[in-house]
Amino acid sequence: MNSPVSTEIRTSINSAEVDALLAQMTLAEKIGQMTQIEKNSITPEAVAEYFIGSVLSGGGGNPTPNTPENWAKMVRDFQEAALQTRLRIPLIYGVDGVHGHNNVKGAVIFPHNIGLGATGDADLVTRIAEATAEELLATGVHWDFAPAVSVPQDIRWGRTYEGYSENTDIVSPLGVAYVKGLQQRGVLPSVKHFVADGGTSWGSTSKYDWLHGNWQLPGDGYSIDQGNAEIDEATLRAIHLPPYQAAIEAGAMNIMISFSSWNGLKMHAQKYLITDVLKNEFGFEGFVVSDWMAVSQIDRDFYTCVVRSINAGLDMVMVPFDYKSFIETLTKAVEQGDVLQSRIDDAVRRILKVKQAIGLFEQPFGDDSLLSEVGSEAHRAIAREAVRKSLVLLKNEGNLLPISKYASRILVAGEAAKNIGMQCGGWTIDWQGASGAITIGTDIVESVTKVVGEDTAVEYNAQGDFKADPSDIGIVVIGESPYSEGMGDKSDLTLPAADVELVNKMRSICKRLVVIVMSGRPLVITPQLEQADAFVMAWLPGSEAEGISDVIFGDYPFTGKLAHTLPRTAADIPLKTLKANDNGALFPVGYGLTTEV
């Protein structure tokens, strides 16, 4: 068993030690430190041979079988290889732990950020980050590609749920809270995606006729993700930049660059924003990392891609596949003088300083003693608290909620009521997530059944096929199937016909009806709101649905407040259109009914 890792990222760096190490490094060792590889694309032996600075697991980059113990072994194997190199510089392993250590089966899945935005609870967000950090360190992971501090302005975007709010003033303190929580447990946060990924225009996603080894080209479903933010600098500074400045002031030492563009220029080539604004104006002293193969979108010539991105201020490149080509290309660029040695030294110095700050040189491995904390009851309790605080009550006619635990009969309908995968959404076990019992957790049907009295009949039928008495209480759970990134870009945010039909069916057979919506963004719900006696936005609550029963049965009050404006009609999307229409908002930011316990 390893000794415990350091509990907090250092605030001071020994620059002399870093400079002494840098002075010993060859160009090959330096460029290796600037290279990040996807774990299935490299062996531990190659990590040592090429002096690789970082390995990552993308969404679904899991060992087989997918257990915390196998994760810990997988990461350790890569780290041990890095420590066989001449200078014994440890690598840093990164994952997309965007709502818990969400690739690992059995890890706690917290609500996605859109739900945390509705809590407005910075202390809660810090505790979520601390719990996530413990589960990461248990598996040897020291770098979390989170938090996203996007400020989504168009809810048709498939990454809307990764942002806390459409409102910068809500995003900034919650982003800072997450940064602090990870850092207090010795894990490096990656604040992303710099910048204005939430400000792109519908239909602006570029298509490419070159590959550079990138299988993840924007497909036919991509319409706004990786698109172009067509905004002036004043808007950029007012809406999208403040969360980054706040995170840097809180000590953030890593920033991830966005796939998107600003006024036609790819962010990965934006020297003005990366070097002049982020590093010089904001005083950012950490290192900047690219997103997944995103440098390849800059130009059809890969040499140009590498030169422009490094000169713009990229310090580490998430290659993530053909690392030999990247290393050869950057080496050639330095030898030909297209990338200066001083730019390489600056990048590597930044990377080494961060590795020193998080204690990797003293303790390069994780903490095996924390394996018992993966999926622990203590962490699930935090997630359950987050669920109940994230729920937003939009309507409560006749004070239907809270429901009595001793009601004679409760009818529950909807596929989403018994579907942990739908509760969790994308970025869960796999990149796109999946439907069904994909990990350990509690679904809504289970949570309702657990809380009611022994004489209360709880009946479940996904299609709402009940022989009902008009006095019965009905609960309908509807929502979005899992998705992530541009695969979730969607022009029509009205409810699917099947969901509309299910609500209508349950309305016709139940005297009192609760509608619960699980989604990664606001949807157009105006007609269904009228059908319901009580209406709850549950967002993507994650693995602990007992947080839902906690409030609908009155053990805790509803306290969640909207962090996004709800549009009245489909014509009121995006946000700038809604704001131009005096009657465009069904409910404003900050709306949410409360109940009494």
Show the 3-state SS of 480-511.
Answer: CCCCCHHHHCCCCCECCHHHHHHHHHHHHHCC
Question: In the prediction, which pLDDT does 215 show?
Answer: 56
Question: In the prediction, which pLDDT does 242 show?
Answer: 98
113 phi and psi angles, rounded to 5 deg? -55, -30
Closest-CA residue to 61 (of 145, 170, 124): 145
Question: In the prediction, which pLDDT does 60 show?
Answer: 85
Angle at CA of residue 281, ends 279 and 282, nearest 5°: 65
C-alpha span between 262 and 364 (Å, rounded)? 38
The total number of residues shown for the chain amounts to 597
Question: In the prediction, which pLDDT does 5 show?
Answer: 46
The type of residue at 505 is: K
C-alpha span between 447 and 417 (Å, rounded)? 10
C-alpha span between 162 and 428 (Å, rounded)? 13
Q: Is 121 a catalytic residue?
A: no
Catalytic one of 166, 291, 430, 533: 291
For 180, residues 6+ apart whose C-beta sits below 8 A from its C-beta are: 126, 129, 250, 251
C-alpha span between 499 and 534 (Å, rounded)? 16
C-alpha span between 187 and 17 (Å, rounded)? 21
- Location of structure tokens 């006619």: 397
C-alpha span between 172 and 46 (Å, rounded)? 40
3 state DSSP class of 365: coil
- Domain-by-domain residue ranges, the chain? 375-587
Closest-CA residue to 32 (of 347, 268, 386): 347
Q: Which two tokens stand for residue 14?
A: 């020994």
Q: What is the DSSP string of 551-588?
A: HHTTSS------SSPEESSGGG-SHHHHHHSTT-EEE-
Question: In the prediction, which pLDDT does 468 show?
Answer: 79
pTM beyond 0.85 = yes
Catalytic one of 480, 485, 489, 499: 485
Q: Which two tokens stand for residue 404?
A: 């009595």
Q: Which two tokens stand for residue 454?
A: 């022994």
The type of residue at 84 is: Q
Alpha-carbon torsion (138, 143, 144, 145), positive or negative: negative
The residue ranges of the chain whose pLDDT is under 50 are 1-6
- CATH topology for 375-587 is Rossmann fold (3.40.50)
CA atoms within 13 A on the CB side of 57: 31
For 342, residues 6+ apart whose C-beta sits below 8 A from its C-beta are: none
Q: Is 472 a catalytic residue?
A: no
